[in-house]
Amino acid sequence: MRIVRRLRTGVVRLALGAALGVALGSALVACGPTVSRTRVEKGETITTGDAAYDTFFREIAEVKYEAEKAGADLSDATRPLSDAIRAPGKSAAPSDAVRVEAKKLQMSGTLLHLDLVPETKLVTSGKPDAPSEKLLGAAEQTAKGALAIARRAGEVLVRITDLEKRRGDLVAGAGTSFPDESKRAEITRELASAEGVLKAAREAGEKHGGAASRLALDLAMALETGAGSGVAAAAKKLAKPLGGGKPAGTGTAGPAKPKGDDFDK
């Protein structure tokens, strides 16, 4: 019995010790210093009274917003195609569904090609049926939206590179621009925080911009069954008479010029 009582007492002491340790740890965390987020991390407007610094902080907020927004924009750009291919039993990637449709049309004699530059435009060698035309239109719209996002993301990345360079210059000149020690310390803290904000914005821009570029390229490859721009142009020419009424292949020029010394003189 004494042994059992001692064991119970030991267990109770261990439990009390563990509980006390957790309580003390929580109290220490609660009493520790709280590190608040900087204004540049929150995306807030910062006014310093110096035009160079104010412009820098304003542009930081802009690229942060644009880089993060690219992800939502990409989701919006893919919605038309996702809605067009939504059907029971279809869980493949959008580009896979487009590839299947393109192959089906190819077998029936309609060739496809998606121009990405200078303008996103779908080229066809014939007129698809209504359901196929709806899917192809959605694919073209999605590719156009994805390329627009990729271009904007690229522009944001260029701005970020410029801001990273300017940040170093502003840090070096803070002592001269802000003689007041308290204000200088505040601005320096925001500038230090801006480094992390720019890094996160770059990662977001590269991620969403890269995804948008890949989506546009995947759709172009999925739609490629041979109806290049040249093929479509040739098909249009053959579909109507040339020269304002003469059938294709019927020339109106005079006989060929004979070769000889009399004509060369």
State pLDDT tens for residues 76-86: 999 989 888 87
135 within 8 A of 169, measured Cβ to Cβ: no
State phi, psi for 128 to the nearest 5 degrees. Answer: -70, 165
Q: How much is the average pLDDT of 57-74?
A: 95
Both tokens assigned to 66: 């644009």
**CA Rg, the chain, in Å?**
34
Average pLDDT over residues 39-68: 94
- 31 vs 185, higher pLDDT: 185
Q: At what angle do helices 51-85 and 130-177 cross, to 10 degrees?
A: 160
Mean pLDDT, residues 103-127: 92
The pLDDT of residue 9: 54
Of residues 241 and 23, the one with the higher pLDDT is 23
Residue for token pair 């990405």: 116
pLDDT at 2: 53
Answer whether residue 120 shows pLDDT above 80: yes
Burial track 23-52 (b if 16+ CB lie within 10 A, e otherwise):
eeeeeeeeeeeeeeebbbbeeeebebeeee
pLDDT tens digit string along 244-259? Answer: 444 334 344 444 444 4
pLDDT value of residue 5:
53
- Token output for 234: 């040739």
Owning domain of residue 234: 38-238
What's residue 44's pLDDT? 87
Residue 184 domain-assigned (yes or no): yes
Inside any domain, residue 65: yes
The CA-atom distances, in angstroms, between 12 and each of 7, 94, 185, 204 are: 9, 61, 52, 52
CA 183/CA 186 separation, integer angstroms? 5
Is 14 part of a structural domain of the chain? no
Overall domain count for the chain: 1
Which residue, among 67, 61, 63, has the nearest Cα to 205 in the 3D structure?
Answer: 67
Q: Is the pLDDT of residue 94 over 60?
A: yes
pLDDT at residue 92 greater than cutoff 80: no
**Residues facing residue 122 across a β-bridge:** 114
Structural domain contains residue 160? yes
Mean pLDDT of all residues in 29-42: 69
**Any domain includes 47:** yes
Domain-located, residue 217:
yes
The 3-state DSSP class for residue 74 equals helix
Domain contains 4? no
Model confidence at 91, pLDDT cuts 50, 70, 90, reads low
Residue 162 lies in a domain: yes
- pLDDT (0 to 100) of residue 83: 87
**Predicted pLDDT of residue 35:** 59
Average pLDDT in the chain? 79
